[in-house]
Amino acid sequence: MSIKSSLIKLAIKLTPNILIIWGANIILKGIAELTEFNFDLDARKVYLQTRLYGEEGTIEVCLEDFAVFNDGESYRFIIHQAKSDRPWLNNLLSRFIGKAWKIPAIPQLSAQLELLTELFKAKTPALEKID
């Protein structure tokens, strides 16, 4: 692992969740409110709880086992598990999981994509599940 990716990984681990929630709520003002957030980089898990503007209940979403990888031709992003407490959102998420989504090639961002690939490196068994 490179020094850059090690430093970014450390920064991600040390960033307080409350700071992420505060920043997200500034961006999402009038659309939704992020009430809980947890990102475990080592376990590749993201948990969030949000309340849509005008709604009373919250929505929980959990993403697990995601990766960014280079297949030789392009960079791709894959999520192997995603679940929610809402059936309609589970149906929507089922259309995204298990598919390797191509990340558009932007020459100016090739170094950043390589760094993302290193940070979110796919585990070998996970790549066997690609459609």
> Phi/psi of residue 57, each to 5°?
-85, 160
Structure confidence by residue, pLDDT tens digits, 64-114: 999 999 888 889 999 999 999 999 999 999 999 999 999 988 889 888 889
| 8: pLDDT strictly greater than 50 | yes
Q: Rounded to the nearest 5°, which phi and psi values hold at 105?
A: -80, 115
Type of residue numbered 42? D
Does this model's pTM top 0.75? My answer is yes
Q: Ramachandran region of residue 44, left (φ > 0), alpha (ψ -120 to 50) or beta?
A: left
